[in-house]
Amino acid sequence: MNQELHKLEVRLGYRFRNADLLAEAVTHRSANSRNNERLEFLGDSVLNFIVADELYQRCPQETEGALSRLRASLVNRPSLAELARELQLGEHLRLGSGELKSGGHRRESILADALEAVLGAVYLDGGFEACRSLIQRLYQERLGRLPAASELKDGKTRLQEYLQGHRRPLPTYEVLSVTGKAHDQLFRVRCTVDGTDLSTEGEGGSRRQAEQQAAEAMLALLLGERGRQQ
């Protein structure tokens, strides 16, 4: 194993018996036909199970829906990318020339996928308990400061509940534009509520993200409007 990947092992706190697995885990599809996509698939499944088990044990009073929201807050793309940055995983990624030029080692999706691939590689190399131990270390701080599940309802859900509670029409969302290449698009969405002259916009790497941002902004406007009326 080269010195750079050994540094990654040190940060992970795990020593690979089969160094080829770690090399594959940090290889993006733009660099080689033998890449980390299959390991990513495996790592995603193991991660979701282990985090679900941790939450089940730590939160005995929470419902299935609350547990699902908590898990989603821990294993979503931004959270995985943040963990990858803490491990300085981007420094070790093997990318094709195009991705290198466009800053692929900093891209959220690539970092998140690579971290899942590393977890898949650990699972194959050391087994379930080794992978569980690594995930517990990576998530120790986050699992120790879990938010209340009620705080994790997404913007669209909270906006809908607010409008229903005040007997107002449900919001509508309109895609205003989609820019960028297929693997790195930016969506801009408008949110409106019938019977008001309010509209908000949101942007994100997916339509869902843009809608969530627009919904959050609309809820803030409605709450501010209600506050001024009281």
What crossing angle do the helices spanning 155-165 and 207-229 adopt, rounded to 10°? 40
Type of residue at 112: A
- Which segments of 103-206 does DSSP mark as H helices, in order? 108-126, 128-138, 140-144, 155-165
What is the CA angle 12-16-19, rounded to 5? Answer: 115
Active site residue 116: yes
Q: Which of 54, 99, 113, 116 is catalytic?
A: 116
Active site residue 37: no
Type of residue at 130: A
Q: Which of 24, 40, 44, 113 is catalytic?
A: 44
Provide the Cα torsion 211, 213, 217, 219; round to 10°: 60
Active site residues: 44, 116
